[in-house]
Amino acid sequence: MSLAGQRVLVMGMGRSGVSAARCALAAGAKVTVTDMREDAPEVQGATHIYGEHRESDFTGADLVVVSPGIPAAAAPIIAAQAAGVPVLSELAFASQWVQAKGIPIIAVTGTNGKSSVTWFIGQLLEAAGYSAFVGGNLGTALSELVTSGERPDYAVVEVSSYQLELPGTFAPTSAAVLNLAPDHLGRHGTMENYGSTKTRIFGQMTSAGFAALPHGDDTNPSGMLTHGETAATALWLDRHPGVTQNDDTLLLQGTPDDGTVDLSPLRLLGTHNRQNAAASVLLCVCAGVPRAALNLAVLTALPHRLEPVHTADEVTWVNDSKATNVDAAMVGIAGISAPLIVLLGGAGKDGSDYARLNEALSRNTRRVICFGAAGGDIASQLAGVDVQTVGTMADAVSAAAASARAQDVVLLSPACASFDEFQNFEERGEVFAALAREAAT
């Protein structure tokens, strides 16, 4: 697709914004990049407007591409739309090229588990002999695939609700919304709006596609998630048509390759990993991968998601930094049966109800150490468990090391964002791993 001579404005110079700008330049566009930060990254060949967003740049563009961190309700975006200028998320922008090349897209969203399922699908495809791009909201922007010149067999993308505010013509071959739980309400306002934003992932799918949702009330509260008016075949993640689990057997019905898949080779612990594996199998089969080619023995845990990072003196340290909300932390806590010291804290999110952690913590948790900006708030909502409040994550690791006994697991499963101390959850997890190794020496 050519953008020769078109005026493209890219808003927000994070990783995806930089990638989108380079993509537009490669397509022949006249690119302007804008960011409120004076020191935002520069893109060679682009015009830089930093420290402000000038409305005239938005209303005078032929296309505006928006990074996911910027709400669709931002005033410059509204001004561009009022002037008739198309506005797309980076994912929607890049997907135009991917779809034009005929590369099937497997897309995964949901409050929790989407990174793990994306990661699992990439592993399953590689083991089955297929080449795959794996990215989107997970690590590598889809625009990177466009500029690479590569043509993989599949593009597997994690999709955030932020990216789905401006979905354009994004049309995956198979897609799933894994679950819905309170998160990002500071941006989306209500659970209903959050859920409807998630299901925009199905909006442009064709009749050749497959769209999967959960049915149970624990993953789809009050049935807020619906398939809507999608042209894709509607499937379920926990009933038929779709996929169900019975002990170590998955049963697929209503898919391109119905039948059973053996779940017993899966080595990962936790009910959530079995559910994630089931969703991964369903999405692969619906994208055209034969059931017989799928080997669940190859699946390994995603970095920063229940990842053991150190063991010393019979104490195991586990990095679950990806658990950035209450529901994700509940899954992490429930996934370990050993005595626990749990580290909770960081930058709190609007609408978080930390009291919901009490049931999970009551099973086998010896101590909870709360830290960071939300540490005091979390501690005030916990009951029935020994709670200690400290300042930073380094303080929390030191306190955990002092409290740990043989056979304990020290679990960082924060239930919060990382932005009070760290740039992202990856940095938080890496620092936790380094601190754990130091504390245990």
pLDDT in tens, 26-41: 999 999 999 999 999 9
CATH topology of domain 307-439: Protein-Tyrosine Phosphatase; Chain A (3.90.190)
3-state secondary structure the chain: CCCCCCEEEEECCCHHHHHHHHHHHHCCCEEEEEECCCCCCCCCCCEEEECCCCHHHHHCCCEEEECCCCCCCCHHHHHHHHCCCCEEEHHHHHHHHHHHCCCCEEEEECCCCHHHHHHHHHHHHHHCCCCEEEEECCCCCHHHHHHHCCCCCEEEEECCCCHHHCCCCCCCCEEEECCCCCCCHHHHCCHHHHHHHHHHHHCCCCCCCEEEECCCCCCCHHHCCCCCCCCCEEEECCCCCEEEEECCEEEEECCCCCEEEECCCCCCCCHHHHHHHHHHHHHHHHCCCCHHHCCHHHCCCCCCCCEEEEEECCEEEEECCCCCCHHHHHHHHHCCCCCEEEEEECECCCCCCHHHHHHHHHHHEEEEEEECCCHHHHHHHCCCCEEEECCCHHHHHHHHHHHCCCCCEEEECCCCECCCCCCCHHHHHHHHHHHHHHHCC
Q: Is the pLDDT of residue 209 over 70?
A: yes
Cβ count near 44 (within 10 Å): 7
- 1 band by pLDDT with thresholds 50, 70 and 90: low
Residue whose pair of structure tokens reads 């897609």 in the numeric block? 175
Domain ranges of the chain: 7-85, 92-298, 307-439
- Confirm if 351 and 182 have CB atoms less than 8 A apart: yes
Prior bond of 256 cis (ω within 30°): no
pLDDT in tens, 360-402: 999 999 999 999 999 999 999 999 999 999 999 999 999 999 9
- Confirm if 232 and 246 have CB atoms less than 8 A apart: no
- 60 band by pLDDT with thresholds 50, 70 and 90: very high
**pTM strictly above 0.85:** no
pLDDT of amino acid 297: 96
The correct answer on CATH 3.40.1190.10 for the domain covering 92-298 is yes
Using alpha carbons, list the distances in angstroms from residue 194 to 45, 109, 162, 177. Answer: 37, 12, 10, 12
- 187 band by pLDDT with thresholds 50, 70 and 90: confident
pLDDT in tens, 409-425: 999 999 999 999 999 99
| CATH for 7-85, options being 3.30.70.920, 3.40.50.450, 3.40.50.720, 3.40.50.300 | 3.40.50.720
